[in-house]
Amino acid sequence: MVLELGKAGTAGAGRGVIPVLAYGGLVATLQAANWKEQATAVVGDRQWSFSKRTGELTGRWALDPEDSARLRARQASYWKGTWVADLDGTVVEVETLSYWHGTHRFLSGGQQVAHSGSTGGWSPRPTLTATPQLPLDHQVFLLWLELVISRRNTAVMTGAVGVAVIGGSS
């Protein structure tokens, strides 16, 4: 299945809510905070709370205790851009496919279970192509992880350009 983040407020999602689309149809929604690494996702009749806690990204059902986590992801190597995710007991390694395009491959037990991409254009949005064995809840978490990584990379690049401009102007 190919998941794609749509434009906020389209495809039947409310104002400020990002639709998660599969083949053009709404399968979930994501309400991501602009300045924090947190979001609320609705997949079917289940509401998820995604957030950053003690150096890792976590996902829990909204009804679960605040300190619990069913889904986790942490950066394994800053230099290599690798991550390790635990999806309800299934370990998934996240490797960079392309630094230029900001794409990743997701491996479990040495087998690829998903890979990311983007819609392209001036305002690219992350996509995720996953095997049917990967539950939709997990796919939405990985798609949110892609959004977080993309925002982090954009922030680093914006900072680097700012430093280069300031450094070059003296």
pTM of the model: 0.88
Phi-psi map region of 12: left, alpha, beta (phi>0 left; psi -120 to 50 alpha): left
Question: Encoding tokens for residue 65?
Answer: 């205790």
The pLDDT tens digits of the residues spanning 43-99 come to: 999 999 999 998 899 999 999 999 999 999 999 998 888 999 999 999 999 999 887
The Cα–Cα gap between 11 and 18 comes to 9
Question: Cβ-count burial of 21 within 10 angstroms (0-12 exposed, 13-18 middle, 19+ buried)?
Answer: buried
Q: How confident is the model at residue 157 (pLDDT cuts 50, 70, 90)?
A: low
Q: Where are the domains of the chain?
A: 2-147
Q: Residue 100: its pLDDT value, please?
A: 79
The pLDDT tens digits of the residues spanning 124-145 come to: 889 999 999 999 999 999 999 9
Q: Count of H helices and E strands in the chain?
A: 1, 12
The Cα–Cα gap between 32 and 82 comes to 23
Half-sphere CA count of 46, side-chain side, radius 13 A: 14
